[in-house]
Structure 1
Amino acid sequence: MNRKVTRLALFLVLAAAIVLAILYRDRFNAAALEQWVGGAGAAAPLLFMLIYAVATVLFLPGSMLTLAGGALFGPVMGTFVNLTGATLGALLAFLVSRHLAADWVEQKTAGRLGQLKAGVEQEGWRFVAFVRLVPLFPFNLLNYALGLTRIRLLHYLVATYLCMLPGALAYTWLGYAGREALAGGEGLIQKGLMALALLAVVAFLPRIIARLRQGPTLGIAELHNRLQGDQPPLLLDVRSEADYRGELGHIAGSRNIPLEALESRLAELGDFLEQPVALICTTDRRSKQAARILAGQGFADVHVVVGGMTAWRQAALPVQIATSSPGRPVEA
């Protein structure tokens, strides 16, 4: 009973603090931050890290803090201070979430939601690393969400710190370059170009990670065996609806989402974020495009079927062909 009361009290305090932070967030700006930290002397880095950690827990904007850290402490110390403050905040939010609601979520998750949670837990530090390198979800919200899983605390902490480094470095340098530009410092062109180069690297990371997260290709025979197994992959046919129902037919149990509509219909595939997905088309050209889209959106186990439906038919494997008359498709 006491534990429930403690949790409720902590939740109410946290909720009230978040509401107040949101209501007065206009007062939380770079000028105010510089004023607070400026009088702290040698303790300024520690104070800044504490402010960053609390701001992360209270859903205050981290981008402004990171830019301010670069302006106040320079590119090297600023990166360390920003990264450490953000990681401490992420750790606090993770622990608060785990203490408040993890047991309740464990009891309530079942079915597809439970499968998604299990998939995230199975990926462990790899999932944390991916979402830190490729910010698909809001940083502050993600910290709380990951606390509801059984990902190991040490794995979460190390993956968060290391994989946020590229973004922290880029935005810290940008804040430093902006401060130098306002002050009229030397080497402005070089510093500006360095900031742009770092931002370009961070912007290009999703494509690099997407390629790394694409699983190996699947041959026709291997796909057929997997579809007969106890845990078949989602077979996603990315042809147009006309081709899906056309003369090549389609594989029983496949789901048809045309490549052109894939990005707008990703919500339909949310249950398979951490499950194997096999992509098939007429050949494999459009399947590769679909694989890049899914991997870039966080799907962990994406495979392209080599040769597509053309190779499937050449192997004389069974297909379903839609008929113009009502009723079940004809199997060929």
Structure 2
Amino acid sequence: MNAARWIRIALVLALAAAVAVAFYYRDRLSLETLDASIRQAGILGPLMFMGIYALATVLFLPGSVLTLAGGALFGPVAGTFYNLTGATLGATLAFLVARYLASDWVTRKTGGRLKQMIEGVEKEGWQFVAFTRLVPLFPFNLLNYALGLSRIKLLHYVIASYLFMLPGALAYTYLGYAGREAVAGGEGLIQKGLLALALLAVVAFLPRLIRRLRRPAPPSLSVTELKQRLDRSENILVLDVRSPEEYSGPLGHIRDAKLIPIAELGRRLEELRDGTDRTVAVICRTARRSAQALGLLQQAGFGNNLRLIRGGMTAWNKEGYPVEYGGFPEMASLSQSGNPS
């Protein structure tokens, strides 16, 4: 066993011990304790608070308590900034810890459904991070470590986390501020209370709105996967939805690919119904027209046997896979239809 592996094991044990200690003393994390400590720190109080928030995130302590405390101690504006910065720092540290300690092991060991899940997360990248920050499907502290096991770019993770945690941070910070004002008997308590409730209502409504707006990615294949399936002579039809000129142009076309330009697809669907349970792989220059074609085919009842080829003929050529050039039997009649944009 090499030294690097021993170091990783020691770090895992140290982290586990720190989490256990933090959980045991979690009841001491109160507003009164934080207030006294930050006052003693003077001008370094905000930095101390953000450090505590970051450490608490790494050690699985509840962030909601600290977020409320940030609003009570620093007010709605500065409190939101300190809460958001501390939470993002902690989330980044947890992400890096997981990536350093376990990502290589997970890459070697994962398979089946877990592998598909990780690949799906990596495919969406920052969009998945944004979605999970707005819609808390998983516990925040656990999610930070889980995302570190993927190959999402660190910069994308940090930016998406900071921006899309803002609505929740603002709402709960203001709630902490309003609660402190209520206890202190400040002015405008009714207005502040109503505003806090309104912000919480917006945050509660966001998951429903995001679920409606977020459409599932269409089923797809990479050009490498397509090439492998063609080499195995699987029952797959490559449907090229470019114009005839593009089909025989510089990018060429895949051997035996069927050309039906996107403008012709609606009235030529019967050509694709051969009674067999085959996969239809839709390809164009990149992927824009392929996605439109996929939508038309799904509406026409072609079921689950549809795949969008990611990157299209551009990616196919980039990989150096074989192509054919030249005319097409229906070139003359198809050219009269015009070229799709």
TM range (shorter): 0.5 to 0.7
Partner of 1:114: 115
- Which runs of 5 or more structure 1 residues have no equivalent in the other structure? 233-301, 318-332
| Closer/same/farther in 2, CA of residues 216 and 32 from structure 1, 3 Å limit | closer
Partner of 2:197: 196
Partner of 2:187: 186
Question: Following the alignment from structure 1 to structure 2, what is the Cα–Cα distance between the partners of residues 86 and 114?
Answer: 28
Normalising by the residue count of structure 1, what TM-score does the alignment of the two structures yield? 0.67
State the Cα distance separating 1:111 from its structure 2 match: 2.1
Partner of 1:95: 96
Partner of 1:229: 279
Partner of 1:7: 8
Post-superposition Cα deviations, 1:201-253, rounded to whole Å, max 9, x if no partner, equal 00000111011113599xx979x98x742689xxxxxxxxxxxxxxxxxxxxx
Partner of 1:254: none
1:66 counterpart letter in structure 2: T
Partner of 2:132: 131
Post-superposition Cα deviations, 1:144-179, rounded to whole Å, max 9, x if no partner, equal 000000000000000000000000000000000000
Which contiguous aligned blocks of 4+ residues in structure 1 show a shift greater than 6 angstroms?
none
Q: Give the 3-state SS of the residue equivalent to 2:279 in structure 1.
A: coil
Question: Following the alignment from structure 1 to structure 2, what is the Cα–Cα distance between the partners of residues 114 and 78?
Answer: 39
Post-superposition Cα deviations, 1:244-284, rounded to whole Å, max 9, x if no partner, equal xxxxxxxxxxxxxxxxxxxxxxxxxxxxxxxxxxxxxxxxx
Question: Following the alignment from structure 1 to structure 2, what is the Cα–Cα distance between the partners of residues 189 and 73?
Answer: 20
- Number of aligned pairs? 239
Question: Following the alignment from structure 1 to structure 2, what is the Cα–Cα distance between the partners of residues 171 and 229?
Answer: 49
Question: Following the alignment from structure 2 to structure 1, what is the Cα–Cα distance between the partners of residues 217 and 77?
Answer: 39
1:183 counterpart letter in structure 2: A
- Which runs of 5 or more structure 2 residues have no equivalent in the other structure? 219-265, 283-294, 304-341
Question: Following the alignment from structure 1 to structure 2, what is the Cα–Cα distance between the partners of residues 228 and 197?
Answer: 52
| Closer/same/farther in 2, CA of residues 108 and 31 from structure 1, 3 Å limit | same
Give the alignment of 1:61-76 within 5 angstroms.
61-76=62-77
Give the alignment of 1:122-271 within 5 angstroms.
122-215=123-216, 228-229=278-279
Percentage identity across aligned positions? 66
Partner of 1:264: none
State the Cα distance separating 1:66 from its structure 2 match: 0.2
Give the alignment of 1:48-59 within 5 angstroms.
48-59=49-60
Q: Give the 3-state SS of the residue equivalent to 2:60 in structure 1.
A: coil
1:152 counterpart letter in structure 2: K
Question: Following the alignment from structure 1 to structure 2, what is the Cα–Cα distance between the partners of residues 216 and 8?
Answer: 38
Question: Following the alignment from structure 1 to structure 2, what is the Cα–Cα distance between the partners of residues 215 and 31?
Answer: 46
Q: Give the 3-state SS of the residue equivalent to 1:186 in structure 2.
A: coil
1:79 counterpart letter in structure 2: T
| Closer/same/farther in 2, CA of residues 194 and 109 from structure 1, 3 Å limit | same
Q: Give the 3-state SS of the residue equivalent to 1:39 in structure 2.
A: helix
The structure with the larger Rg is: 2
Q: Give the 3-state SS of the residue equivalent to 2:152 in structure 1.
A: coil
State the Cα distance separating 1:5 from its structure 2 match: 1.1
RMSD: 2.9
Normalising by the residue count of structure 2, what TM-score does the alignment of the two structures yield? 0.65
| Closer/same/farther in 2, CA of residues 216 and 105 from structure 1, 3 Å limit | closer
Question: Following the alignment from structure 1 to structure 2, what is the Cα–Cα distance between the partners of residues 104 and 230?
Answer: 36
